[in-house]
Amino acid sequence: MNKIDFVIAWVDGSDPKHQAKRAQYSGQNVSAEAMLSTRFASDDEIYFSIASILKYVPYCGKIYVVTDQQKPLFLDEFSKQGICEADQIQVVDHAVLFQEFNEYLPTFNSLTIETMLWRIPQLTKHFIYLNDDFFFNAPSKITDFLENDQQKIYGHWKSNTLVKAKHNYRLILQKYFGKAMQPKYTFAQVLSAELVGLDRYYEIHHRPHMLSHELFKEYFGKNLELMKKQISYRFRSADQFLPVGLNNHLGVSKNNVTLEADLEIAYLKNEHGISEFLSKIQTDSIKFGCIQSLDEFDGLNAKKVKDAMISKFDDFLPDSVKAKPREGINES
């Protein structure tokens, strides 16, 4: 079986060194949304993400955890406890991705980091990228992502007209009323489609995505200045495109992707959705899940979610994660 590498971007925003570094580079030109603390929060989600890959993904090769001079505390326990091979999980520092472009470091911007993931040394031709709060919810086959060398993209076509109209309206508010422009995930997808010459975009949502090392290498080899502009933003900007979207729309333009309908996911966006989420993670027909902003949940609700995830991935989690007191950050 051909193996596919996995890449997970991770940051521990509670690290005092990281906080000090972030504060040093924040300024008036950084949007409030780009500076939200929840963007940099870590609440054990990465352990659930890795455990889900080890449990449900037999075609997984290496798992690369991309960080900025950090490392998840219990990461080595996966191999020490025999849950995976000794070298299967590897930490890759931002400095490796930005070799020859280190003037753009440090960065606190997921879009900037995602733009450079293809530069991980010895990465497989195709690789699967996850945020650290994504996880596999059920057994996966490689054909969920790749079949006959065609990447599968789950989503739907949408017109960019309304999105661009809203963006232009926000530009007016910024110019004449001083209301700062906030980066929007949807508009970043529109920009990625326009780079390829498309006047509509294939909208995607929160789930693992297959990316192509070769597509990025070829495109940025021809568009180096565009890549430099993209990675020049240390914090998220409304002027940035979505790298995953660029990968997808490049694939569409080259006719080497298969477009699939949206999949239902177990998506926990806030505390009101906990009951539905807990039901969905018991459903094998739902392949993927995402736990967003767990750091903002109250103590009891955070514990409820973590207990359910520990139960689901019990045999694939480090003992220290299972033994760790599960108290929410906002518990009073």
Q: What domains can you pick out in the chain, each with its CATH number? A: 4-155+204-323 (3.90.550)
How far is it, in rounded angstroms, from Cα 11 to Cα 152? 28
**252, 183, 159, 249 alpha-carbon torsion, rounded to 10°:** 0
What pLDDT shows up at residue 32? 53
What value does the mean pLDDT take over residues 283-312? 93
The pLDDT, as a whole number, for residue 58 is 98
Q: Is residue 4 within 8 Å of residue 59, measured between CB atoms?
A: yes
The pLDDT assigned to 33 comes to 53
- What pLDDT, in 10s, does the model give residues 96-153? 999 999 999 999 999 999 999 999 999 999 999 999 999 999 999 999 999 999 999 9
pTM of the model: 0.92
Instruction: Give the pLDDT confidence of 225-239 residue by residue, as tens digits.
Output: 999 999 999 999 999
Instruction: Check whether 35 has a pLDDT greater than 60.
Output: no
pLDDT of residue 178: 84
For the stretch 43-100, pLDDT in tens is 689 999 999 999 999 999 999 999 999 999 999 999 999 999 999 999 999 999 999 9
